[in-house]
Amino acid sequence: MIARQRIVFERQDAFGIQLAFAIFFLGTGSGLFILSTFYGFIWGKVADLVFLILGFVFLALDAGHPFRVWRAFSNPTTSWISRGVIAVSIFFVLAILAVLQGFGLLPWMDGSVGGWTVKILGLIVAIFLLIYTAMILASYPSVPAWNTGLLPVLFVSYGLTSGIAVLYFFHSLNTIPIIELAQIGFILVAVNLLLLLIYWVGLSSTVTAAKESTRLITKGELWPHFIIGVIVVGLVVPLIMVGQVYATSKVTGSSLILAGVLILIGNFIFRYVLLRMGTYEIPR
Amino acid sequence: MAKYGMVIDLKRCIGCCACEIACKMENATGPGISWTKVLREERGIFPYVRFFSLPILCNHCAEAFCEKACPSGATYRTDEGLVLIDADKCLGCRVCITACPYNVRYWMKEKVSYFYPAPLTPYEEMGYAEHETGVVEKCDFCKRRLKEGLEPACVDICPAEARYFGDLDDPQSTVSQFVKQRNVFQLLPEMGTDPHVYYLAP
């Protein structure tokens, strides 16, 4: 017989703002790489390298012993951190190759077998990176709010959304028509918002610590971050801004840039809120 | 080879926290870090109330999530079933802390005095010498005492004799007798971690 156990909730305090920055930069870098590869936009790939480096630096700084990060390569069979560190390293090489290829500094061209290999491998690893950052959180049931299959999907969506947001900054360098950028952004942000709402509803309909996490983001100390920062600033306002393209058939570069800034701010706050709302069920 | 485990009798536990203090004295853990702690609460409605205590510690799970989550192999399992941390390999990523469903792992961020902001006392400096900062720590079933043939400090100190420690593979040991014959349960069995710490129902 199992004795009666009551459950109380305890907030996780292991992961904080530095990891939020790390997964934000890695997610944005991966999303940016995917979109830049699709559009053949070389400056996006250059920016992607910067995001990757920032992500890795924050990941290392978040560790208690940054100079031991090389040890994280040791356990890829079961550890998502280990898989991720390996993937980041491979992706870094592929991203450099993609940039060199884009500038014509490699012996092979974009359309050749070598070029396609770099592109396809880069895309696979970029998608893996988007998923891996979610899997660090989602793979164990200890924090029920994270332990959901929707989290990797949400992270892929957030990565692509922030990728398009960065592309907005380069719209003047880009060959993609500004209207097309706005239309794609609208779709990505709308899908992102929908996924987030599904995730939110899913959390609130559980009976575990996930419900406590929901309370934190709707009524508790994190509600301004989530409702205002993540939903309003990060998704709804940019959605309206880029959505004007459907109403007026035109959109200005400055409104795209502003929408991009808001998307990135919302994206970062989402990562931060997600970490901060993590709650354990402690048996009693 | 022994497979160590612990049985905690919740009917005997009086919630005195002697185990927590003994653990602190034995392992010189810092402020806010208790490798074993006693969760306490009142249950029931007046006049039918009682005080309930639940000592928790690392469960040295057979299917330890922390071991699987650790990227560097710093968390490992011994042949005796102990889940230990090699501080020299730990990079302090803290993913094991979030993977552990019992929340009994601690990050030794820095060596802080109990008399903060005063510097470490000589006694604290001596105790903290064996701790490394920037790594994760947890209960190791007092492996140092086990080597000397002693029981873990929390078991040794318990005035109510609520804690039992021994070899779960030895059919004659007290712990395996309890596990076989008494009404034992494990914490959060639905997690599938198969803890080596069992509880006797209150």
Tokens standing for residue A184: 């794609």
CA distance A81 to chain B (A): 6
Average pLDDT for A210-233: 94
pLDDT single digits (tens) A132-181: 999 999 999 999 999 999 999 999 999 999 999 999 998 877 778 888 88
Q: What per-residue confidence (pLDDT) applies to B169? A: 94
With cut-offs at 50, 70 and 90, classify the pLDDT of residue A6.
Answer: low
Does a cis peptide bond (omega within 30 degrees of 0) precede residue B117? yes
Mean pLDDT of the A186-198 span: 97
Kindly report the nearest CA distance between residue A141 and chain B, in angstroms: 7
State how many domains chain B has. Answer: 1
Looking at the complex, report in whole angstroms how far the Cα of residue A82 sits from the nearest Cα belonging to chain B: 5
Q: What CATH code is carried by the domain that includes residue B79?
A: 3.30.70.20
Give residue A7's pLDDT band: very low, low, confident or very high (50, 70, 90). Answer: low
pLDDT at residue A283, rounded to an integer: 67
- Closest Cβ opposite residue A142 in set B94, B99, B109: B99
**B87 to chain A: nearest residue by CA?**
A65
Interval B71-96 mean pLDDT: 95
Q: Does residue B73 contact residue B55 with C-beta atoms inside 8 Å?
A: no
- Higher per-residue pLDDT: B81 or A245: B81
**Per-residue model confidence (pLDDT) at position A5:** 47
The shortest C-alpha distance from A128 to chain B (Å) reads 17
Owning domain of residue B147: 4-200
Q: Which two tokens stand for residue A213?
A: 């996490």
pLDDT in tens, B13-55: 999 999 999 999 999 999 989 999 998 888 888 899 888 899 9
DSSP letters for A32-78? HHHHHHHHT-HHHHHHHHHHHHHHHHHHHHHSS-GGGGGGGGS-TTT
The C-alpha atoms of residue B135 and residue B152 are separated, in whole angstroms, by 23
Cis ω for the linkage preceding B47 (within 30 of 0): yes
Q: Please report the pLDDT score of residue B42 as a whole number.
A: 81
More confident residue, B76 or B1: B76
The answer to whether the Cβ–Cβ distance between A140 and B93 falls below 8 Å is no
Confidence of residue B85 (pLDDT cuts 50, 70, 90): very high
pLDDT tens column, A87-134: 999 999 999 999 999 888 888 877 788 889 999 999 999 999 999 999
Mean pLDDT of A27-45: 92
Q: Is the pLDDT of residue A271 over 60?
A: yes
SS3 label, residue B28: coil
- Looking at the predicted structure, is the pLDDT value of residue B202 above 90? no
Three-class DSSP category at B61: coil
Q: What is the mean pLDDT of chain B?
A: 93
Contact with chain A for residue B134, Cβ under 8 A: yes
When computed from its CA atoms, the radius of gyration of chain B, rounded to whole angstroms, is 17
Which chain A residues are within 8 Å of B100, Cβ to Cβ? Answer: 142
Q: What percent of chain A has pLDDT over 70?
A: 97
Which helix (H) or strand (E) segment holds residue B195: the answer is: none
B window 1-40, beta carbon within 8 A of A: 10, 39
Cα torsion at B75, B76, B77, B79 (round to 10°)?
-150
Contact B185, A1 (CB under 8 A): yes
Q: What is the mean pLDDT of residues A221-236?
A: 96
pLDDT band at A1 (very low <50, low <70, confident <90, very high): very low
In terms of Cα–Cα distance, which of A23, A22, A42 is closest to A156?
Answer: A23
What integer pLDDT is reported at residue A17 of this predicted model? 94
CA A265 to chain centre: 12
Cβ within 8 Å, pair B93-A80: no
The span from the CA of B64 to the CA of B191, in Å, is: 10
Question: What pLDDT is recorded for position A4?
Answer: 46
B1 pLDDT band (50/70/90 cuts)? Answer: confident
Task: Average the pLDDT over each of A99-103, A218-222, A242-246 and give the range with the smallest value.
Answer: A242-246
DSSP codes, A222-237 = THIIIIIIIIIIIIIH
B92 interaction partners in chain A (CB closer than 8 Å): 63-65, 68
Residue partners of B117: CB distance under 8 A and separation at least 6: none
d(CA A280, CA B19): 24
Residue A130 vs residues A91, A107, A155, B127: alpha-carbon distances, Å: 12, 30, 6, 43
B52 to chain A, any CB pair closer than 8 A? The answer is yes
On chain A, the residues whose CB falls within 8 A of the CB of B89 are 68, 71
| Mean pLDDT, residues B71-91 taken together | 95
> Which region among A105-109, A263-267, B93-97, B195-199 has the lowest average model confidence (pLDDT)?
A105-109
List of residues 6+ apart from A37 with CB closer than 8 A? A45, A98, A119, A122, A123, A126
The pLDDT of residue A284: 56
